[in-house]
Amino acid sequence: MIEAEPMIDEFDTVASWTASAVRELGEDHALPAACRGSGSPAALDWLGSAMGLGEGARLLDSGAGVGGPSEYAARSWQVRPLLAEPMEGACRASRSLFGRPVVVADGAALPFRDGSVEAAWSLGVLCTLADKPPYLAELRRVVVAGGAVGLLVYERAVDSLPDQPEGNHFPSHQELLDELGASGLEVVGQTLLTDLPGTPDDWQEAADRVEDLIRERHGDDERWQRAQEQQDTIVRLIGEGLVVGRLVSCVAAPA
């Protein structure tokens, strides 16, 4: 479960503020503002297509945040999204923005039966977890044998980072491959975010307008300041190439 205060600020409090800002600015801001870790539509397009998402499939989003990626998947591939997320503020935000089914749950203890969904994805969640195997084991357990599991993982590209945002645990590429293999998730495709097209201008501008409004309303609040510091550190690490975003498409081995 999440204990680091800056992460609660970022994933709970700011999530609630995001929904309020979208209500003020208009519905066309919802998707860009609610993709909080998954970045560009190109990344979601790559992953959804690598996973073979198709109409009617039930897609579990574990660590769904404010729900933008699930909504994107529902609109792009007509999947039926099911969101699981430990932060209540984020759950309320996604529910109010998109109205999709959401459950407050730790990804390491999902309240779903074995093999109950055709596919699952996890976007920007793994690097927030100190103990990754129980979370990965749950993804594999709830997906039907042979089903698709997709991940966006921020990896450490160097042995040690100069500056680690509190509560983050970036795996190296080899650590990631080892943990996926040990969890029964067979990698069938992967790409780096840097090899995909960037975020379209209109998408980025909408996300920026939401961020600006949140700063205007809450910039004096120390919870916003802590969340912002956290974000700035991650952006700096990515900008310097010390942390890289990788998309991985896997198949769940039979239990």
For binding to ligand SAM (CB under 6 A), which residues are involved? 2, 11, 35-38, 62-65, 68-69, 85-87, 90, 106-108, 123-125, 128-129, 135
Which contacts (CB < 8 Å, 24+ apart) does range 129-134 have? Answer: 129/169, 130/169, 132/169, 132/171, 132/179, 133/179, 133/182, 133/183, 134/108, 134/109
Closer by beta carbon to ligand SAM, 123 or else 250: 123
* Distance of closest approach, residue 212 Cβ to ligand SAM, in angstroms: 19
CB neighbours (10 Å) of residue 148? 24
Cβ neighbour number for residue 196 with a 10 Å cutoff: 18
Which residues 6+ apart lie within 8 Å of 195 measured at CB?
none
The least distance separating ligand SAM from the CB of residue 13, rounded to whole angstroms, comes to: 11
Q: How far is the CB of 227 from ligand SAM (least distance, A)?
A: 11
- For residues 146 and 197, which CB has a smaller minimum distance to ligand SAM in the complex? 197
Minimum CB distance to ligand SAM, residue 221 (Å): 19
> What is the number of alpha carbons within 13 Å of residue 216 lying toward its C-beta?
10
User: C-alpha angle 103/90/142, rounded to 5°?
Assistant: 35
- Minimum CB distance to ligand SAM, residue 39 (Å): 8
DSSP state of 69: H
Cα distance between residue 33 and residue 62, in whole Å: 18
Cβ proximity to ligand SAM, 57 vs 102, nearer residue: 102
- 108 or 251, CB closer to ligand SAM? 108
- CB-nearer residue toward ligand SAM: 104 or 188: 104
Dihedrals phi, psi of 143, to nearest 5 degrees? -90, 140
Between CA 44 and CA 81 the distance in angstroms is 14
Which C-beta is closer to ligand SAM: that of 36 or that of 226?
Answer: 36
Closest approach, Cβ 32 to ligand SAM, in A, equals 11
